[in-house]
Chain A
Amino acid sequence: MPLDSEKTLKVGSGKQFGAEQAEELVRIEHLSKEYVQRRPLTGAEFTVRALEDANLTIRRGITLALVGESGAGKSTLGRCLALLEEPDSGEIWFDGKNLLKLSRRELFPMHRQIQLVFQDPTSALNPGMTAEEIITEPLAIHREGTKAQRRERARELMEQVDLPARLEHKRPLELSGGQRQRLAIARALALKPKLLVLDEALSSLDLLNQELILKLLADLQRIHSLTYLHISHDLRLVSQFADEVAVMHDRRIVEQQPASELFMQPHDRYTQELLAAMPSLESICAERLA
């Protein structure tokens, strides 16, 4: 797909926020999680703390980037939010409901609203299923429509993510990296979620694919009024599209600001260090000539 060199990816999505849109979709308070592991043979236990008193808010319709070093706890937060893990303490409010207080039955429909896209599409997609089957699987689980309707929806979604229809019956290993990630996104969108959590979803792609997927995500956000939580260790990448940025360090959120403010006037020392470690391309090139 040739890139239109006139188009630019602005910082954030350039959206204006109306009053209703400024409301919160997600509020995470004092989230903590520890993993207890056993040493082999001696059986002695030791705990690994993944999250400690993490607080985060995500407003409706925006793209929030959660950045931090590897091991800071970002993925754990994302997984807790997507209900894949249970935190030890704290609260997760989604659309006015306290998720951690819901019963199993009440929680089941919540899965439709929050979907996760993983870093490595190859391991996140069932290699034995075709593209169509992968997309219709969540629909089948939540008993949406008839078989024919689901297939139709799968085709619709594939078109939305720019996957040619002829790839319908291909297996993930027959697709390229970029195509696999699009398939993962199509699957995530099948249930019309409100929130999409993208856990390092762009890291395994090369630059060009990254751009294509980012553009796709921006379009989809507009069309479906989606909210995104992008988890990434790459602050530079994130600067290209995030509306707000939350910085995670040592299992806590140390700062959360609109993107432009964060990059211009970071409050937290860690954030400042992080920014200082990443000079822009232009500045590096300018320095070379000096």
Chain B
Amino acid sequence: METLLKVRNLTIRYRSELTEREAVRRVSFDVAPGEVLGVMGESGCGKTSLGLALLGLLSKEHAEVSGSVMFRGDDMLTMKETSLQEIRGAGISMVYQEPGTALSPVMRIGMQISEIVHAHRQWSWKKCRAEAHSMLARVGLTPTERFFSAYPHQLSGGQLQRVALTQALICGPALVIADEPTASLDARSQCDLIALLRELKQGLRISLLLISHTPEIQASLADRLMVMQDGEIVEEGRFDRMYWRPVQGYTKTLLRRDRPAADRNFERADAEQEHAAR
């Protein structure tokens, strides 16, 4: 199986008038087609910068990015803006952390989705809009007319997250970068989103770079996991191995493997339910 994304020695250095700091240090990893690679780490470890850098979205004045990001054989870090534009949204797309702020407040949801289609396909606006409708239905935002003509401030956090997903998926990218997709959601919406992502992963064979500090999310979706600390990868491997036999102390902490009593209540509750079911 050929690799979809090959990142080698990626380094991101932020420069301001006062300080200079390396947010990401010589990070290397691969993403295969159809796989979910989870990225975990505390805030400030470089996860979000990583996602933005992959799409070339960090402004050149503030950040210096070096290394190589090979996507389908081309290095994205040396590409021209126009070539990058073609890949963004259609080859690699991103679901941003705060869905509310990632949408224009004065443009209708449907238009913000249709624009993306129009930017990548030579279709008529009518066709673009129809495509937007069908994608809205796919993610469960029905009746689609209502959501198409709504504005961001009229939707709840969970709905906005689905809109963000619609935008990311509509041009059929090979890789989706999801930055803390469940952070602003409550339990039920989180659950729904995970189920949706699972469905899409199986149905569309899309690769997912899942950035999330919540172990339950990673456990539900990730095939492989990468743990980052201070801009470096401290451990990576298949999720099951990482969970049942973690090597680094930091990994153990993130996956809550250092506190056997932590989920005791839930464990008991689940055990009871299972027992009752039998």
Contact = CB atoms under 8 A, between A and B. Distances in A.
A176 interface: yes
A190 to B, nearest CB: 27
B262 A9 contact: yes
Interface in A194-218: 205-209
A274 interface: yes
A284 B252 CA distance: 17
B188 to A, nearest CB: 5
Contacts of A137: none
Contacts of B216: 236, 278-279, 281, 284
A280 B252 CA distance: 16
B43 A11 contact: no
Given A9-B259, A208-B253, A274-B187, A284 B220 contact: yes
Say what secondary structure dominates the interface of chain B: helix
A283 interface: yes
Contacts of B267: 280, 282-283
Contacts of B191: 277-278
Contact of B240 (A5, A264, A289): A289
Interface string B253-272: 11110111111111111101
A14 to B, nearest CB: 10
Contacts of B249: 5
Contacts of B240: 285, 288-289
A280 B216 CA distance: 7
A233 B186 contact: yes
A10 interface: yes
B219 interface: yes
A14 B43 CA distance: 30
B59 to A, nearest CB: 20
A281 B187 contact: no
A236 B219 contact: no
A69 B190 CA distance: 11
Contact of A285 (B213, B244, B262): B244
Interface residues of B, number: 39
Contacts of B215: 207, 281
B262 A234 contact: no
Contacts of A263: 265-266, 268-269
A176 B265 CA distance: 32
Contacts of A206: 42-43, 213
A8 B261 contact: yes
Given A8-B261, A239-B265, A208 B219 contact: no
Contacts of B252: 5
B173 to A, nearest CB: 26
Interface in A69-119: 69-71
B219 A259 contact: no
A264 B219 contact: no
B144 interface: no
B140 interface: no
A83 B157 CA distance: 28
Nearest to A280: B266
A283 B215 CA distance: 12
27 contacts: A5-B252, A5-B258, A8-B261, A8-B262, A11-B265, A70-B156, A70-B157, A70-B186, A206-B42, A207-B42, A207-B213, A208-B42, A208-B254, A239-B263, A239-B265, A259-B265, A263-B266, A264-B269, A278-B187, A278-B191, A281-B215, A281-B255, A282-B263, A283-B270, A284-B216, A285-B243, A289-B240
The 5 nearest A-B residue pairs measured at CB: A280-B266, A233-B186, A5-B258, A263-B265, A284-B219
